């Protein structure tokens, strides 16, 4: 009877270790999200093609863990309009793993803030 009790206790312990290691294997690591956020920020300006506003700078911001599978990060972009005015915006990107997949995905959660950095330049009078 004691041998059966020990076997059950050992089995439960091993099952617990398997579940914990399996859950840890599907946790999104913060360095991975940070690296993806930096790469996204770099490619953001390169991909913009708006003729009225051009992206002149972008930078990755801080990240914060939301759950084991989700990390939210900020991305800063600086836009310049035709009148040479500039605005800086902060966007929120959520990086996540879905359905125990190792594939990292991104979800755009919107613009958090925008502020004018440089006002429009007055027109040149001849």
State pTM to two decimals: 0.70
Domain locations in the chain as residue ranges:
27-118
From CA 89, how far away is CA 95, in angstroms rounded?
19
From CA 105, how far away is CA 18, in angstroms rounded?
26
Residue 38 has pLDDT above 90, yes or no: yes
* CATH number of the 27-118 domain: 3.10.450
Q: Residue 71: enclosing H or E segment and its boundaries?
A: strand 70-81
Residue 7 has pLDDT above 60, yes or no: no
Q: Which of 73, 71, 72, 68 is nearest to 26 (CA)?
A: 68
pLDDT in tens, 95-125: 999 887 889 999 999 988 999 888 887 777 7
């Amino acid at each position: 009877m004691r041998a059966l009790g020990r076997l059950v206790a050992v089995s439960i312990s091993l099952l617990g270790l398997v579940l914990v290691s399996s859950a840890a294997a599907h946790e999104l690591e913060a360095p991975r999200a940070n690296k993806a956020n930096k790469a996204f920020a770099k490619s953001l300006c390169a991909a913009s093609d708006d003729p009225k506003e051009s992206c002149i700078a972008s930078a990755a911001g801080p990240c914060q863990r939301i759950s084991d599978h989700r990390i939210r990060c900020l991305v800063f972009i600086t836009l310049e309009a035709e009148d040479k005015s500039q605005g800086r915006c902060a966007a929120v990107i959520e990086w996540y793993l879905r359905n125990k997949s190792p594939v990292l995905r991104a979800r755009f959660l919107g613009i958090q803030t925008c502020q004018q950095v440089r006002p429009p330049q007055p027109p040149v009078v001849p």
